[in-house]
Amino acid sequence: MPEKFVSERNIKFMLYEVFDAEALTRYEYYAEHGREIFDLVLDTALKMGRDILQPLLREMDQNPPQFVNGAVKVHPMVRDWMRTCGEGGWISALAPYEYGGQQLPLLIGAVTRFIFSAANYSASVYPLLTAGAAHLIESFAAQELKDLYIPKMYAGEWQGTMALTEPQAGSSLSDLSTLAEPTDQGYYLLRGQKIFISASDHDGVDNIVNLLLARIKGAPSGVKGISLFVAPKFRPEADGSLTANDIQVAGSFHKLGYRGSPICQLSLGENSGCRGFLVGEPHQGLAYMFQMMNEARIDVGMSAAAIASAAYCASLQYAKERPQGRRLTSKDPTLPPVPIIEHADVKRMLLFQRAVVEGSFSLLLQCTVYADRARVLSGDDKEKNELLLDLLTPVAKTYPSEMGVLSVSQGLQILGGYGYCDEFPLELFYRDARIHPIHEGTTGIHGLDLLGRKMVMKGGKAAQLYLQEVEKTISLAREVSVLAPYAGRLQEALGKLREVTARLVQLSQEKGPEYFLADATLYLELFGIIAVGWQWLVQASVVQKTLKKGPSGEERNFYQGKLQTFFYFFHYELPKIEGLARRLLEGDGLTVETKPEMFE
Amino acid sequence: MPEKFVSERNIKFMLYEVFDAEALTRYEYYAEHGREIFDLVLDTALKMGRDILQPLLREMDQNPPQFVNGAVKVHPMVRDWMRTCGEGGWISALAPYEYGGQQLPLLIGAVTRFIFSAANYSASVYPLLTAGAAHLIESFAAQELKDLYIPKMYAGEWQGTMALTEPQAGSSLSDLSTLAEPTDQGYYLLRGQKIFISASDHDGVDNIVNLLLARIKGAPSGVKGISLFVAPKFRPEADGSLTANDIQVAGSFHKLGYRGSPICQLSLGENSGCRGFLVGEPHQGLAYMFQMMNEARIDVGMSAAAIASAAYCASLQYAKERPQGRRLTSKDPTLPPVPIIEHADVKRMLLFQRAVVEGSFSLLLQCTVYADRARVLSGDDKEKNELLLDLLTPVAKTYPSEMGVLSVSQGLQILGGYGYCDEFPLELFYRDARIHPIHEGTTGIHGLDLLGRKMVMKGGKAAQLYLQEVEKTISLAREVSVLAPYAGRLQEALGKLREVTARLVQLSQEKGPEYFLADATLYLELFGIIAVGWQWLVQASVVQKTLKKGPSGEERNFYQGKLQTFFYFFHYELPKIEGLARRLLEGDGLTVETKPEMFE
């Protein structure tokens, strides 16, 4: 295994130099924290990644979950890992003190997730899902449910899940059909199927707590008739014992990657004994679930960036160590070969990897800063941060996911034939990374979300706020001579985004939603490139200030490498918007007008 | 498994309507062939794909080669398959009558390779490699070697291989160090290591015939000192018996995909008993090997297009059968869901897949037509076709390989979570496809080949011939009103290519080879998009003529679908050159000037 999976230097740069994590401690909610605690958390997370997670990466991949006698067996590390996370307070880290949490800034939590996912994505999922599910109970459930479930979940003894998808519905949540029949006992009887539910059965915990969407009998059709339930695998009884809750596991899928964690199909209430416990009000389930979904979307983006980070570290190490060929200016075959990192094309691939990894990471942390501010501010300030987070969530989920796949692929390419073989971890990262454009909403769904909902919500208020944020960065960069031309390029790109958006809104009015949204996926791609360009300009502005102070040695290399990657992004990645904008401005509805029978 | 893996209708369209395969039979060399024979060959190949290859695709993937007691065991089908190919004349199909071949046009051979690779890529490799190796012996070896090896290879009893790569050299052929020590017995003693050699040991044949590059003791360093040898696993003796030839197999690699076929590391002459038999003249090995390498590059492109074809068929079938969601114009949840092929974004992904598959296939067949013409013509006509083939080989290898990976990935995306699981073959295609940008020269190597060698060879003569070919297509398309705007777009693209090429040549003069070639990979990408755009215009011109005749039913759908895919290519793919050209025109040497120490 490669020596590294994340750049610790970059993490600290982002946290303390770019996003000023310490500033958060000025808010009362985070007042008990400080840089020392943050550093301790990071150091511990890095140590756990190195000592516990990374060493089991290949082994968990090669020993995927087994379905035996109707139950899923996972690698024995899962039980230890969940308890370690429980005992160390990692599952409850972001929760308020009143729930036994540590009230850690989301920004710090996000970085620990990045570290864990980079070390071993599959393993990182178990505590992460549990934290999200517990947070959902915390936010919306009655006290009784909170008392019953949260402590066990935060202790890592019970697994939390997010049970949305059904076999017949897929991305179409309005077609969810799991039925919840009311009883006079205070619970509902559930009946239905759930599919592709991560960690929804395994022997690494004593119980599974499914946070599950279902439709109360007689509820309206569509998304307005969906309610949220707690549907445990075992019901905790008053005496502390557990009773089976009639949830059958129909099997664990064999997957391309992400093999250290099971995803299962569940069958609820085959024997009419599956009890579900309503969370909050009836028919409000989707609104509640969006809390967990939105958190999970940022988490998916973060995990995608994390896998890409691990791949970058692996291919960088290889490129430094592998001698092959000579510089084009000295082809004398009697000279010794140079490390392949000397070749321009290899440097290009490494710069691409780094640009994606650190650009994605930056955008995701930016979102987390908005989330932290929304948590501690109120009134207009809170709303502003919420709107920015809402707008950017589909982007922060998708750019790292889609570009992460390409970035890992370039990493594999750097190793050539070795990258294709399992002596190196690139082929594993390549398989793991491919899940991210699919789960927590496919890329197509996020395109529709960004253009069809987020850009137009509240009269375009979020979009306006976002443009102001980017303009602010541009204005500041214009003052710095090295950055000014790049500020100009980003301004130009923003002009393209405005032009495309206006054209599409016009198309919507002229020709309706199908034409408006036909190329929403391309719009999302265009938007994502510009958003990450913005984040690179944010980083470069910080770098320029520090470089003026004349750092030396490794520090100087770090800042100059940052700047070089920023240049790379603006010279190689940002120009990709040209072709996208050209297409998006056409608005001819080519795909809408393509008839299914035209495909053989 | 999906019902189809290729479109038979498209194959016939390409062969008979676009490239006029029958016209080849006007040349004496192909005079004994005709449409009936071609159709019979295709029908038989399709049947073999359906009945023999596709049914074993998943099974071979799940039971990869095993390394047992120093030898590689493969799936039992391999032996049957090789004998079937031998007995049916599939290995010798392209060889001249004098070697027992059928003198089939390369065009027809290419299509059968497409069919076999689409049905089961790993299985297709065994006979394909054998044919290429035998052809190399045919072209350059002494009669004795021909008599000894070719009949057994064409019979499918012995496996041929292409043994170039060495552990320390990778893409750097000038560093090959396998040593060939002359003896006075007419053979050489070989000593060295070869790595990543496909099918270089397995129990599906009785012998392995390695076509191997080595350096005769005292030979010049670099590529000018490389010679070609036949180095069999077992030496055939005069009495027909076989003697072990001191080639040890160090193991079979565990690969991401392409698992039905072994790739091995070989150790030659550990006991000083590995005899190599020189092919042709000393030190001319690389020039000879380029025959097999160039054939293999087209084959790799074809296999990449083939896997993408199988993925397209699979996702198309799924998209037609899977109901989910509603059209954006009728979101009423009480209405039944529509098949996902009704959604614009799914149609976009299918069009992308089809555009890549059929555009790549077209470019590859175009190359094969040049090869066929080079085979039967002489003088300037021969040279012209050879130059065009030479120029386009890196493009026809790389576009299908790189875009094939993306195309399969979009196919996987259409299936969502199901695409990530092994109930469907998309995840397998995704793994198999990833080998193609690596083997037979990585994408980076082909970028250098195209820009650094092919574009400038013979004073740019090949480049001029190519531009004339494209201009000819443009001129004809200008006469057709539906096509004229697209002819204009291609003309504009060609202008960009000219501008970029001139800029880079200027850069070469001003700043040397490193600056000239720094972005050769991007240049190859730009070139490839335009070349495939050209092929789409070639196809669309044929389609337009036929549509005028008013075909009906499925025929009409086929032609209209073709035209729609052509439109797709010009509206969505061709604009990608905008960003590439913008970058290529900068010529700032950003990657050249990036220092290795800037990477942490």
Q: How many CA within 13 A on the CB side of residue A335?
A: 12
* Torsion angles phi and psi, residue B208, rounded to 5: -120, 130
| Pick from B264, B257, B311: nearest CA to B434 | B257
pLDDT tens-digit map of B216-226 = 999 999 999 99
Q: Is A275 on the interface with B (CB under 8 A)?
A: no
Q: Are B166 and B192 in contact (CB under 8 A)?
A: yes
Helix (H), strand (E) at residue A579: helix A576-586
Give domain status of residue A519, yes or no: yes
Tell me the average pLDDT across A513-532.
98
Q: Nearest C-alpha of chain B: how many angstroms from A256?
A: 6
Of B175, B346, B582, the CB nearest to A578: B582
Give domain status of residue B504, yes or no: yes
Token pair in block for residue B55: 């049914």
Contacts of B437 in chain A (CB under 8 A): 413
Q: Among positive and negative, which fits the CA dihedral A525, A529, A530, A531? A: positive
| Pick from B73, B393, B400: nearest CA to B252 | B73
Size of interface A-B (CB pairs under 8 A): 291
| A373-A377-A383-A389 Cα dihedral, nearest 10 degrees | 10
Give domain status of residue B439, yes or no: no
Tell me the average pLDDT across A124-150.
97
Instruction: For residues A44 and A411, give the distance between their C-alpha atoms in angstroms, rounded to a whole number.
Output: 28
Interface test with A, best of B318, B413, B599 (most A CBs within 10 A): B599
Q: Nearest C-alpha of chain A: how many angstroms from B305?
A: 17
Mark which residues 387-406 of B lie under 8 Å from A by CB.
405
Tell me the average pLDDT across B85-89.
97
Q: At which residue do the structure tokens 């959902």 appear?
A: A136
Is A435 in contact with B422 (Cβ distance < 8 A)?
A: no
Strand partners, B181: B189
Percent of chain A with pLDDT over 70: 100
Token pair in block for residue A14: 């982002």
Give domain status of residue A567, yes or no: yes
Interface test with A, best of B318, B594, B595 (most A CBs within 10 A): B594
Is A409 in contact with B599 (Cβ distance < 8 A)?
A: no
Tell me the average pLDDT across B530-542.
98
Is A564 in contact with B421 (Cβ distance < 8 A)?
A: no
At A288, is the secondary structure helix, strand, or coil? helix
Instruction: Count up the domains in chain A and report the number.
Output: 1
Token pair in block for residue A540: 């470069």
Instruction: For residues B9 and B492, give the distance between their C-alpha atoms in angstroms, rounded to a whole number.
Output: 32
Tell me the average pLDDT across B43-49.
98
Tell me the average pLDDT across A211-224.
95
Length of chain B: 600
Strand partners, B553: none
Is B255 in contact with A351 (Cβ distance < 8 A)?
A: no
Mark which residues 471-530 of B lie under 8 Å from A by CB.
512-514, 517-522
Is A165 in contact with B519 (Cβ distance < 8 A)?
A: no
Interface test with A, best of B258, B345, B418, B486 (most A CBs within 10 A): B345
At B267, is the secondary structure helix, strand, or coil? strand
Strand partners, B267: B193, B248
Give domain status of residue B496, yes or no: yes
Which letter does DSSP use for residue A570 in this model? I
Instruction: For residues A305 and A298, give the distance between their C-alpha atoms in angstroms, rounded to a whole number.
Output: 11
pLDDT tens-digit map of B135-174 = 999 999 999 999 999 999 999 999 999 999 999 888 888 8
Interface test with B, best of A256, A429, A436 (most B CBs within 10 A): A256
Q: Are B318 and B311 in contact (CB under 8 A)?
A: no
Residues of A annotated as catalytic are 440
- How far are the Cα atoms of A577, B252, B255, B261, B436 from residue B64, in angstroms, in the given order? 43, 10, 9, 7, 19
Give domain status of residue A568, yes or no: yes
Q: Is B347 on the interface with A (CB under 8 A)?
A: yes
Residue B600 pLDDT exceeds 80: no
Helix (H), strand (E) at residue A232: strand A227-232
Is A344 in contact with B591 (Cβ distance < 8 A)?
A: yes
Identity of the amino acid at B442: T
Tell me the average pLDDT across A159-188.
93
Q: Nearest C-alpha of chain B: how many angstroms from A573?
A: 8
Give the mean pLDDT of chain B. 97
Interface test with A, best of B9, B62, B172, B256 (most A CBs within 10 A): B256
Of B171, B326, B583, the CB nearest to A325: B171
Tell me the average pLDDT across B84-97.
97
Asked if the ipTM is above 0.95, the reply is yes
Task: Work out the angle at residue A25's Cα, subtended by the Cα atoms of residues A20 and A28, and round it to the nearest 5 degrees.
Answer: 145
Contacts of A586 in chain B (CB under 8 A): 571
Instruction: For residues B214 and B385, give the distance between their C-alpha atoms in angstroms, rounded to a whole number.
Output: 31
Contacts of B595 in chain A (CB under 8 A): 560
Q: Are A570 and B583 in contact (CB under 8 A)?
A: no
End-to-end alpha carbon distance in chain A:
46
pLDDT tens-digit map of B428-466 = 999 999 999 999 999 999 999 999 999 999 999 999 999
Is A579 in contact with B575 (Cβ distance < 8 A)?
A: yes
Instruction: Say whether B342 is catalytic.
Output: no
Residue A331 pLDDT exceeds 80: no
Contacts of B439 in chain A (CB under 8 A): 417
pLDDT band for position A251 (50/70/90)? Answer: confident
Residue B1 pLDDT exceeds 90: no
Q: Is A588 on the interface with B (CB under 8 A)?
A: yes
Which of A327-341, A422-436, A560-574, B253-267 has the least mean pLDDT? A327-341
Tell me the average pLDDT across B55-69.
97
Q: Are B532 and B467 in contact (CB under 8 A)?
A: no
Domain range holding A527? 446-589
Is B316 in contact with A521 (Cβ distance < 8 A)?
A: no
Q: At which residue do the structure tokens 């004809």 appear?
A: B476
Instruction: For residues A212 and A223, give the distance between their C-alpha atoms in angstroms, rounded to a whole number.
Output: 14
pLDDT of residue A600: 76
pLDDT band for position A2 (50/70/90)? Answer: confident
Residue A479 pLDDT exceeds 80: yes
Is B347 in contact with A513 (Cβ distance < 8 A)?
A: no
Residue A115 pLDDT exceeds 90: yes
Contacts of A430 in chain B (CB under 8 A): 256, 434
Strand partners, A230: A211, A277
pLDDT of residue A195: 95
pLDDT of residue A170: 81
Residue B331 pLDDT exceeds 80: no
Q: Is B62 on the interface with A (CB under 8 A)?
A: no
Is B578 in contact with A583 (Cβ distance < 8 A)?
A: no
Is B518 in contact with A345 (Cβ distance < 8 A)?
A: yes
Give domain status of residue B388, yes or no: no
Residue A58 pLDDT exceeds 90: yes
Is B518 in contact with A442 (Cβ distance < 8 A)?
A: no
Give domain status of residue B527, yes or no: yes
Q: At which residue do the structure tokens 């009887």 appear?
A: A189
Strand-strand pairing, A158-163 and A207-216 = parallel
Helix (H), strand (E) at residue A248: strand A247-252
Is B409 in contact with A412 (Cβ distance < 8 A)?
A: no
Q: Is A183 on the interface with B (CB under 8 A)?
A: no
Q: Is A200 on the interface with B (CB under 8 A)?
A: no
Instruction: For residues B187 and B193, give the distance between their C-alpha atoms in angstroms, rounded to a whole number.
Output: 19
- How far are the Cα atoms of A95, B129, B184, B225 from residue B213, in angstroms, in the given order? 64, 16, 20, 10
Contacts of A559 in chain B (CB under 8 A): none
pLDDT of residue B171: 80
Instruction: For residues A271 and B386, give the distance between their C-alpha atoms in angstroms, rounded to a whole number.
Output: 72
Q: Are B116 and B122 in contact (CB under 8 A)?
A: no
